[in-house]
């Protein structure tokens, strides 16, 4: 039977039947970037590591949530070539690293600038019918970002991830992440933004013409001139729409106690709750009360 030497800090003879070789994919991350510099490009996002070890150990390697951490403490502005160090591959004891692909990693480094930008809440969709977004507020309202001149220089705001307001009819608060471009970083602040969104009924105003003006509380025949009134009202769009459909507006003049002859009076306008009268024309009407009584 063939045997293999496996182990660290000592020799251990293991039958080859228990030994396995495998390629493990390992994501690449970085640390210790010098102050004032920023990594703008790492073309390789991961590497393959050829390993040998006990089958029982190799089987669990692919399930380990780990990565290769590059030490960038000695990089300079420009393109840097960083050799892969096997001693930094975070595999457990008993695993031999035969080779890595690639064996060197190219990293592009630029000078970092910092910029304070307002936060824009990215809303998608439309509220429920008759409702509108009245105001939005991000907390914090601004954040400081670090990045390269090419990426950060042209930016005048930073947006959040999309906030869907489709069909909503009420205000809300929600935590949402920033939608950061690659190679940007937050400086001394959280990526989580508290979004305040105020949604209310959409208020509109509309003018209604030729609304008949009627007289009430008189036994006499009468004539009102002019016979119609034009009004301008304001209120929630849903209610204003219903006014158009069912003509839910009443205009009348109280004629109680008026004797035959000519009089001048204002009209009373009856509107549904939440509808406000802005203007009415004419304001004064000529009323002629006849001497004969009616059968009304």
* Domain boundaries, given as residue ranges, for the chain: 3-111, 113-201, 203-293
Q: Which residue has the tokens 């158009």?
A: 244
Cα 98 to Cα 9, 51, 83: the distances in Å are 18, 5, 15
Domain 3-111 is in which class? Answer: mainly beta
pLDDT (tens digit, 9 = 90+) per residue, 242-290? 886 557 789 999 999 999 999 999 999 999 888 999 999 999 999 999 9
Provide the 8-state DSSP code for 178.
Answer: B
**Residue 152 CB burial class (10 angstroms; 0-12, 13-18, ≥19):** buried
Q: How far apart are CA 52 and CA 62, in angstroms?
A: 13
Cα 288 to Cα 9, 220, 226, 265: the distances in Å are 117, 10, 11, 11
Confidence of residue 296 (pLDDT cuts 50, 70, 90): low
Instruction: Report helix, strand or coil for 55.
Output: helix
Give the per-residue pLDDT at 8.
42
Mean pLDDT score across all residues of the chain: 88
Q: What backbone phi and psi angles, to 5 degrees, belong to 246?
A: -105, 5
pLDDT (tens digit, 9 = 90+) per residue, 130-188? 899 999 999 999 999 999 998 999 999 999 999 999 999 999 999 999 999 888 889 87
Under CATH, which number does the domain 113-201 receive? 2.170.120.40
Is the CB of residue 120 less than 8 Å from the CB of residue 195?
A: no
Inform me whether the pLDDT recorded for 52 exceeds 50.
Answer: yes
Is the CB of residue 278 less than 8 Å from the CB of residue 240?
A: no
Confidence of residue 193 (pLDDT cuts 50, 70, 90): very high
Same fold, 3-111 and 113-201: yes
Instruction: Give the right CATH number for 203-293 from 2.170.120.30, 3.30.70.20, 3.40.50.1000, 3.30.70.980.
Output: 2.170.120.30
Q: What backbone phi and psi angles, to 5 degrees, belong to 254?
A: -80, 115
Cα 252 to Cα 215, 231, 259: the distances in Å are 6, 13, 18
């Amino acid at each position: 039977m063939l045997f293999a030497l496996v182990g660290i800090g000592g020799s251990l003879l293991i039958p080859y039947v228990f030994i396995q070789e495998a390629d493990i994919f390992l994501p690449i991350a970085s640390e210790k970037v010098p102050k004032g510099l920023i990594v703008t490009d790492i073309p390789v996002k991961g590497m393959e590591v050829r390993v040998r070890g006990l089958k029982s150990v190799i089987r669990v390697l692919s399930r380990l949530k780990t990565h290769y951490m590059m030490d960038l403490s000695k990089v300079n502005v420009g393109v840097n070539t960083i050799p892969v160090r096997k001693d930094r591959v975070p595999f457990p004891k008993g695993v031999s690293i035969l080779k890595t692909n690639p064996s060197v990693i190219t990293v592009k480094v630029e000078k970092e600038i910092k910029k304070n930008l307002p936060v824009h809440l990215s809303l998608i969709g439309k509220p429920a019918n008759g409702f509108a977004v009245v105001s939005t507020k991000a907390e914090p309202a601004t954040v400081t970002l670090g990045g390269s001149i090419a990426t950060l220089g042209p930016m005048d705001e930073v947006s959040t991830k999309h906030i869907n307001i489709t069909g909503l009819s009420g205000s809300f608060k929600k935590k949402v992440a920033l939608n950061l471009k690659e190679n940007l970083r937050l400086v001394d602040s959280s990526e989580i933004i508290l979004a305040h969104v105020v949604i209310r009924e959409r208020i509109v105003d509309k003018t209604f013409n030729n609304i008949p003006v009627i007289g009430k509380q008189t036994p006499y025949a009468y004539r009102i001139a002019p016979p119609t009134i034009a009004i301008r009202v304001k209120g929630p769009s849903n209610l204003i729409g219903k006014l158009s459909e069912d003509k839910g507006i009443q205009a009348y003049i109280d004629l109680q106690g008026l004797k035959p002859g000519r009089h001048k009076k204002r009209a009373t306008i009856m509107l549904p709750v939440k509808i406000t009268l802005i203007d009415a024309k004419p304001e004064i009407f000529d009323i002629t009360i006849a001497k004969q009584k009616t059968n009304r």
